[in-house]
Amino acid sequence: MAELKNRTGSRRSFVKTAGRLIIAAPVLTLPVILARKTDSKGYVWQIDPYKCTSCEQCRTACVMTPSAVKCTNAFPMCGYCDFCPGFLRQGAKTYNTAAENQLCPTGAIVRKFVEEPYFEYTIDEKLCDGCSKCVKACANFGNGSLYLQIMHNLCVNCNQCRIARICPSDAIIRVPATTPYLQKELKSTIS
């Protein structure tokens, strides 16, 4: 009996060692195979402003509340209009900063007088929730200088961006982490 036990014992230990080697092999080789494909800097998610259709889903789809998507203004593109379609609600009686005249539901757009007749519009990112109402208005009636970007100090860089999954225009793409923003720029002057 002792001999039998010895035999089964050694057989079992052999199976154990063999199994250990078989199991260990892929664990040790997989990283070697994939090490060539690694990227220490990695990728982050960003909105391509030229594909974005400002469908308002960024506000609710992000895993963060409020959304990590914020509006920004490309100042070189901005017309500095007194009647800013992104700032003023359609049908506003007067062009001023009164709450009932503003388009932004959270009052995140700050209007500052520069000189006659120009006004500067900046976004208070703490208030902006990425609803893209102003982006749509600016694209439709203005210069299209307001656009959405994923702010990387807020974004948690999910494996699969939840907004990207439902974005109807596939505007959310992976970009290298070294250039994490896709900024709208004034197209180089032609004339």
Partner 1 sequence: MKKIKKYLPYLVLAILFIWHSVLYAQQQRFPRPEFEGGYTFPTHQFLNQRGPMWEYMDVAVLIGALLITAWIALVKRSRQGIIWVSLFSLAYFGFYRQGCICAIGSVQNMSLALFNGSYAIPLSALLFFTIPLIFALLFGRVFCAGVCPLGAIQELTGFRQVKMPRSVEKVLAVIPFVYLGLAVLFAATESQFLICRYDPFVGIFRIDAPYTMVIFGSLLLVVGIFVNRPYCRYLCPYGVLQNIFSRFSLKHVTISPAECRKCRLCEPGCPYDAILQSDHEPGSGTLEKPLKGSLRYFIMIPVLAAGFAVILFNFAPALSGVNVNVKLAREIRAEKDEGISAVSKAAVAFFESGKTEDALFQEEQQIIGRFRKGAPWVGVFLGLSLGIGFFRITLRKIRTDYEPDRGRCYSCARCFKFCPVKIKK
Q: Does the bond joining 66 to the residue before it have cis omega, within 30 degrees of 0?
A: yes
Q: 45 has which bridge partners?
A: 174
- Output 94 or 191, the one with its CB closest to partner 1: 191
- The yes or no reply on residue 127 touching partner 1 (CB under 8 A) is no
- The yes or no reply on residue 159 touching partner 1 (CB under 8 A) is yes
Report d(CA 79, CA 137) in Å as an integer: 14
Q: Which two tokens stand for residue 155?
A: 């974004």
Residue 82 CB, shortest distance to partner 1, in Å, is 11
Report d(CA 108, CA 101) in Å as an integer: 13
Q: Which two tokens stand for residue 37?
A: 């494909």
CA 71, 74, 80, 81 torsion-angle sign: negative
Residue 180 CB, shortest distance to partner 1, in Å, is 6
Query: Candidates 62-70, 91-99, 101-109, 126-134 — which segment interacts with partner 1 by CB under 8 A?
Result: 62-70
Query: Candidates 92-100, 101-109, 126-134, 153-161 — which segment interacts with partner 1 by CB under 8 A?
Result: 153-161
- The yes or no reply on residue 23 touching partner 1 (CB under 8 A) is yes
- Output 100 or 189, the one with its CB closest to partner 1: 189
- The yes or no reply on residue 6 touching partner 1 (CB under 8 A) is no
